[in-house]
Amino acid sequence: MKYLTLHVTSNDGELLYAKDVEVANLCEAFIRRLVSGLVEKAVIRNGEHYTARLTPRYNNTMRAQGIAAVLSAPLPAQESWIALHYEPNTRPDQPVIYFTLELYVHERNLLIEYDFAPHEISADFIAYGVEQALLGLGVLQNGQLYRLRFYAKDDDEAQFDKEHLPTLERKAASLIEFLSDEPETPAFPFRDPSAYPSVVLVGQGLLQPDDIRIFVRRNTYDALLQAAKASDRVEVGGILVGNVYRPTDGGRLIVDVSDFIVSAGLISSLTELRYTFESWQSHQAQLRQQFPGKRIVGWYHTHVVAVPTSNSENVATQDEESPSSSGTTMFFSQHDIFMHSQFFADEWYVALVLDPWGKSLFFQWKNGRIVPCFAYHLYADLGVAS
């Protein structure tokens, strides 16, 4: 797996902070801002599709100007809208001097290349996340100079949830104290909620200030609805895949649902769905193989009949008040509550309930209870110029 390791050092070379970083988290905001500027200049047309590729460089021949060329043949497809590309001289033990960013516009086989210094492409990631966190921890002081270094890695040892703070770790080692058995909280990266393209707020109500902020990729949501429509005789389900972020504007976490895994080996019927040990094993294997760098952010399942009980989280939508309306009542059964509590107990896990008639509702953790989240966001796929 290709990824970058960030080192923040003091001006005299002391390591202050280290973290493994996914390329999309690092420079998404920078690339979108660059593309918007190219749209304004009519270099890229509004609505055109593009992919980006970032190549580490180790020499001092950084170009001052960008170049553009129309290719005679399309470039090979890449798995995601942005990818790291390593050349034979990639050196994981040496800091990257600069990066070459390639923007490929699919409709016209147009390739645009720029060279950027590491601090340019990572400005938002550093300013909104790393720098503020280090100032808050006292690792950095206001006005202190520091240096950024990126190392290009290609292995299976990435730990995106871990942060290395040598100064604080040395202080902690000098203390004798009893530590609780509370599990370590992952170090989620920061994200600006306004960075999502073409966002539409949907659902049966208004987003509350203390709701989890759920962002669902539109193509993923459409595929989930199609899967629900295709199975109207037994309940089906699976795992929601994506990432979790700390918002730059405060508030609760952002849950980004970008993909899903259909669960195999389920025991399902008209009114119930149960996971088996084999189905849970397959989730982790598929996550590593198909979605490296992403995490499980929740689960989904369908309801094909309306069977809420007095112990269920029953939530009827406006069009369900009439007995003749089509579809099921969106609810979380006692069995659903048990499943979510046992396997998705952390605050960022969400659950999506769908039915074959196109209805859907998210559930979330709030104040220790599983309650509906009546509004969520759909966003367009990244890599569309605007």
As a whole number of angstroms, the distance between CA 116 and CA 82 comes to: 16
Domain region containing 239: 191-379
For 168, phi then psi, to 5°, come to -70, -35
Query: What's 253's DSSP letter?
Result: P
Do 90 and 62 have their domain in common? yes
- For residues 148 and 123, the answer to whether their CB atoms sit within 8 Å is no
Distances (CA, A) of 260 to 31, 63, 107, 184, 345: 26, 41, 28, 26, 19
Q: What percent of the chain lies above the pLDDT cut of 90?
A: 44
| Last-in-domain residue among 146, 181, 216 | 181
**pLDDT at site 298:** 93
| Last-in-domain residue among 181, 200, 217 | 181
Half-sphere CA count of 39, side-chain side, radius 13 A: 16
Do 166 and 238 have their domain in common? no
186 domain-assigned: no
Residue 314: pLDDT band (50, 70, 90) is very low
As a whole number of angstroms, the distance between CA 114 and CA 181 comes to: 49
- For residues 57 and 100, the answer to whether their CB atoms sit within 8 Å is yes
| Last-in-domain residue among 153, 181, 209 | 181
| Average pLDDT estimate for 299-325 | 51
**Lowest model confidence (mean pLDDT) among 114-123, 162-171, 222-231:** 162-171
Do 354 and 265 have their domain in common? yes
Half-sphere CA count of 355, side-chain side, radius 13 A: 19
| Whether this model's pTM surpasses 0.85 | no
199 domain-assigned: yes
Please tell me the total count of domains within the chain: 2
Do 350 and 202 have their domain in common? yes
Residue 285: pLDDT band (50, 70, 90) is confident
**Lowest model confidence (mean pLDDT) among 146-150, 222-226, 315-319, 338-342:** 315-319
As a whole number of angstroms, the distance between CA 140 and CA 137 comes to: 8
- The one-letter amino acid code at 94 reads Q
Residue 265 has pLDDT above 70, yes or no: no
Do 98 and 236 have their domain in common? no
Which of the two residues, 179 and 137, has the higher pLDDT score? 137
Do 344 and 318 have their domain in common? yes
Residue 106 has pLDDT above 80, yes or no: yes
385 domain-assigned: no
Which of the two residues, 278 and 183, has the higher pLDDT score? 278
239 domain-assigned: yes
Do 274 and 296 have their domain in common? yes
H/E segment holding residue 104: strand 98-105
Do 68 and 149 have their domain in common? yes
Name the 3-class secondary structure at 241.
strand
Q: What percent of the chain lies above the pLDDT cut of 70?
A: 81
Which of the two residues, 345 and 286, has the higher pLDDT score? 345
Do 218 and 293 have their domain in common? yes
| Average pLDDT estimate for 239-258 | 90
384 domain-assigned: no
Do 256 and 167 have their domain in common? no
Q: Which of 203, 230, 258, 225 is nearest to 377 (CA)?
A: 203
From the number of C-beta atoms within 10 Å of its C-beta (0-12, 13-18, 19+), residue 285 rates as exposed
- For residues 150 and 6, the answer to whether their CB atoms sit within 8 Å is yes
Give 319's contacts (C-beta < 8 A, 6+ positions apart): 325, 327
Which of the two residues, 72 and 228, has the higher pLDDT score? 72
**pLDDT at site 212:** 94
**pLDDT at site 380:** 84
Do 27 and 55 have their domain in common? yes
Do 1 and 76 have their domain in common? yes
Q: What CATH number is given to the structural domain containing 303?
A: 3.40.140.10
| Average pLDDT estimate for 306-335 | 49
Which of the two residues, 304 and 158, has the higher pLDDT score? 158
**Residues shown for the chain:** 386
**pLDDT at site 282:** 67
As a whole number of angstroms, the distance between CA 284 and CA 251 comes to: 30
269 domain-assigned: yes
17 domain-assigned: yes
**Lowest model confidence (mean pLDDT) among 27-36, 315-324, 364-373:** 315-324
Which of the two residues, 180 and 110, has the higher pLDDT score? 110
